[in-house]
Structure 1
Amino acid sequence: MAYLVTELATTCVRMATQAAHDLWGRPAPAIDPGHAFEAFRSERHTRVIGADPSPLWSPLSGDYRAADGWVRLHANYPHHADAIRRALGDDPATTVGGTPAVAVEDAVLAEGGAAAALRTRESWLAVQGSSVRTEPLVALEELASGEPVARAGDAPLAGVRVLDLTHVIAGPVCGRVLAAHGADVLHVTPPGWPVLLDVMRDTDFGKRQCTTDLAGVRALAAEADVFVQSYRPGSLGFTAEDLAEAGTVVVSLSAYGHTGPWRGRRGFDSLVQMSTGIAAGDPPNPLPAQALDHGTGWLAAYGAMTALARGGSWHVRVSLARTAEWLHDLGQGDPVSEADPAPWLTETDSDFGRLRHIRVPGATVRLPGPRRPGSDPADWTWTA
């Protein structure tokens, strides 16, 4: 038996696609479950034509057997790899093998790294899961009332400005979905922030790219219709409420939820699968896709478009952990059968060369290829 990832993917894509077409006043197309599932594995399909594929994981990333179970280390960012070495030494496997899994997790987190012990459902519910289960799947909090903006154009989100201050998969997927329905998406990379180019090549179709500091981010956010951010609470220096007067829809994504003792904890899809017991097994049994990341990204896009339809300023909150709880509640069924992705593959030119990739399901515009970080000015009025 396996988790119902195809059902999760199809539902998330349908929700966002329907929200887009509701804004447009047109009927939404049917969503092929196979297309939705492969879209949830899009990073596996995006390749520079003629180049060898890069590994999805760094050498230190992976599942390690601990003294009493399993722990996963996430080292794709260089500073997280450095934190692992500070906590565990140059041979993490040896250190982990003689240490309880939760102690390894605590040591890596204390050094500013990313790790997660494999927990049982009972353990997860005791430490954070019970808090997460009280949260809506997509929370929408009205900050200031207002009238919906009249929309007319060749796409549901034509003329909508989206500031994308996110990284890795969930947040960038949200921005990619909004771009796929015509939004003007400006992706910000803070100065000096490390970039996972292989992931960016997949998630940044249809976006402009700029670099600016937090003061610049706040100025751009005040002129945006939607501001999508995935930074931990308090790290930006301003809040969703600070943008309410401007009528901005703020979308906040987190790993472990927006309430409870873990609300500020650093996390990624593979780690949340471990923490929530989704990956339970010996060795751990991960999902066939980064479904928590992708699902949360599509749900974030759904929330943003739902808020735009209502008008005014809203705070939309989603999290990987809450998506994991939804997946858990869907139950289990037969394992996913691998499908040939060929029907949904296409090719697009980009700053990185010609890319082969999965089309965004339900898209109403054809997206241009991704641009390199910092390629464009931090300016809404600039056009090429």
Structure 2
Amino acid sequence: MSNDQHMPAAMGHFLGEFWQALAGDPEQLLRLRISAQGSLPSVFAVTDFAAAAVGVAHLAVSELLQQVSGTAPQVVVDRRLASLWFASSLRPQGWALPAQWDAVAGDYQTADGWIRLHTNAPHHRDAALAVLGTRADRDAVAKAVGRWQASALESAIVERQGCAAAMRTARQWAVHPQGMSVNAEPLLHRQRGPQGAPATWAGSVERPLHGIRVLDLTRILAGPVATRFLAGFGAQVLRIDPYGWEEPGTVPEVVLGKRCARLDLRAPADRRTFEQLLIQADVLIHGYRADALAHLGLGVERRRELNPGLVDISLDAYGWTGPWRERRGFDSLVQMSSGIADAGMRASGSDKPVPLPVQALDHATGYLMAAAAVSGLSQRLVSGHGSQMQASLARSARLLMQCPVDFPTAHPLTPVQSADFAPHIEHSAWGPAQRLKPAGQVQGAPTRWDLAACALGSSEATWL
């Protein structure tokens, strides 16, 4: 691969691991060029992680184009813009995004350490407050948390169907049953599906994924990043949410280029509608817990029966094996469990957990999932077979933690500037906004989103 400067060791490591997980030809990495300097402040190589993840997703598109056109386009990634996309791509004009976190969510000191409560969803907040026996007031929650041991409170909240994570060191995670399980997993679980109908390519060099139908069953945050990427290269993305579900702090960021509908998969009529959508889909990307779709009658065997050629990409927070395989989790919780927040605290000399400067596990895993989807489509063109691939935030965390760096960084990233945004205005459902310029480019196939960000449930559950 060629670059403006010498390739950092961390960048090379991440690229190699991501590309190997996709079973990509190492020679293809020579088409990738990484530009720009500077790094986000972190004890781990977050900016290299971001640029590598964005790079492999774009390389997967380039590989698809080589397969169908015989020409291998070059790929360029701006590592600074990649880092900025990992924070936020959106700059509202005359309106403001809601707060990213619920008033109760955050880190609290326990009797023996720290714990993070994730309470953005009302039912998760209710579960935590029920265990603590207190009202939704930060001071009251802090007082109640202080009476608990961290691991005991974590277990109690999880048993109540809530979301929490005690802060562990990397060494503690390495010997924890779940840590040992996920650390033994591949970065991507890969399985070939049955023979499907012969696949044809309906795209063009300029819009490589035109004609591809992507069914999006994902929410905060990795899965929506993956499907946003696919929409940028012409895929028709239909996101399905349950009735009543809202994500006010993240939806304007991640629904760019998509249509959004609602179905209740527990209702027979809506489940039949979903199955008809699935039959006609090329790609399914979902972030349900390990057995959640199976409990709805939509397990992997049923999905293969309905659509043998389906490229089926799924995400789990804590991995696909081990005692926590069905545990609810989010980026910020995995950072606490795996030792990332503890490492940041120690390196910075802080007296409280220090997470990554961005939700890098979510974003990087999202780009890896997007790359897996494109790779699966490429393979289907050759063999006609569908595929199933599984990623996890915890396994991505293990990869990131293999590359610690000096803290603070000697070359900080230049803050976001007006010139970083595309000149045109996006007329989103919430008001006008600007988007960052794309962080990556495939030569001859510019990233372009044909639809502005829309509200959840604003479309019918049908393909166009």
- 2:286 is aligned with what amino acid? Q
Q: Given the superposition, is the C-alpha separation of residues 335 and 207 from structure 1 closer, same or farther in structure 2, using an over 3 Å criterion?
A: farther
Matched, 1:252 2:325: no
RMSD over aligned CA atoms reads 1.7
Equivalent AA in structure 2 for residue 111 of structure 1 = R
Aligned to 2:281: 224
Query: Is 2:78–2:440's contact at 8 Å kept on the other side of the alignment?
Result: no
Match of 1:338 among 413, 423, 429: 413
Matched, 1:349 2:427: yes
- Supply the distance in 2 between the matched residues of 1:54 and 1:306 (Cα, whole angstroms): 36
Distance 2:95 2:201 in 1: 45
User: Aligned with 2:435: secondary structure?
Assistant: strand
- Kindly indicate whether the alpha-carbon contact (under 8 Å) linking 1:273 and 1:279 is maintained by their aligned counterparts in 2: yes
Distance 2:161 2:299 in 1: 23
Identify the residue that residue 39 of structure 1 maps to in structure 2: 85
Provide the C-alpha distance between the structure 1 equivalents of 2:433 and 2:390, rounded to a whole number of angstroms: 32
Q: Where does residue 296 of structure 1 map in the other structure?
A: 365
Superposition pairs of residues 9-24 of structure 1, within 5 angstroms: 9-24=50-65
Q: How does 1:67-216 map to 2 (within 5 A)?
A: 67-88=111-132, 89-90=134-135, 91-125=140-174, 126-145=176-195, 149-153=200-204, 154-192=206-244, 194-214=245-265, 215=271, 216=273
In the aligned structure 2, how far is the partner of 1:160 from the partner of 1:38? Answer: 28
**Does structure 1 retain, via aligned residues, the 8 Å contact 2:290–2:316?**
no
The question of 1:305 aligning with 2:374 is answered: yes
Bigger drift between 246-255 and 329-338 goes to 329-338
Change (3 A) 1:341 1:145: farther
Shift of 1:171: 0.8
In the aligned structure 1, how far is the partner of 2:289 from the partner of 2:421? 35
Is contact 1:351–1:370 with CA below 8 Å preserved after alignment? yes
Work out the CA distance in 2 between the residues paired with 1:16 and 1:189: 25
| 2:48 corresponds to | 7
Structure whose alpha-carbon radius of gyration is higher: 2
Residue by residue, what CA displacement relative to the aligned partner does 1:3-51 show, whole Å, maximum 9, x if unpaired?
0000110110000000012112341331011011111112xx5243112
Q: What per-residue deviation string (whole Å, max 9, x for no partner) do you get for residues 278-303 of structure 1?
A: 11023101001000000111110011
Deviations 1:153-201 (A, max 9, x none): 2311111000001111111001101111111000111123x21122010
Using the TM superposition, name which of 350-359 and 68-77 deviates more.
350-359
Q: What is the CA-CA distance between 1:73 and the residue it aligns to? A: 0.5
Task: Give the corresponding residue for 1:376.
Answer: 459
Q: Quick check: 17-26 or 342-351, which moved more? A: 342-351
SS at match of 2:250: helix
How many residues are paired up? 378
Q: Deviations along 1:131-157, whole A, 9 cap, x unmatched?
A: 112221122211214555334323111
CA 69–160 in structure 1, closer or farther in 2 if over 3 Å, else same: same
1:53 Cα deviation from its structure 2 partner: 4.1
Moved more, 206-215 or 236-245: 236-245
Cα offset for 1:253? 0.5
Equivalent residue number for residue 73 of structure 2: 27
CA distance in 2, matches of 1:221, 1:4: 38
Tell whether the 8 Å contact from 1:21 to 1:156 is kept in structure 2 after alignment: no
How does the TM-score come out when normalised to structure 1?
A: 0.94
Contact (CA 8 Å) 1:47, 1:53: kept in 2 or not? no
2:109–2:146 CA contact under 8 A, matched in 1: yes
TM-score by length of 2: 0.78
Of all paired residues, the percent bearing the same amino acid is 39
Distance 2:414 2:178 in 1: 36
Residue identity opposite 2:368 in structure 1: L
Is residue 2:419 matched to residue 1:329?
no
Rounded Cα–Cα distance in structure 2 between residues aligned with 1:250 and 1:359: 29
Distance 2:335 2:432 in 1: 33
Is residue 243 of structure 1 aligned with residue 303 of structure 2?
yes
My pick for the range that moved more, 367-376 or 224-233, is: 367-376
Partners of 2:278 and 2:248 lie apart in 1 by 24
Say if 1:17 and 1:28, in contact at 8 Å, map to a contact too. Answer: no
Q: Structure 1 residue 334: deviation in Å? A: 4.4
Inter-partner Cα distance in structure 2 for 1:102 and 1:21: 46
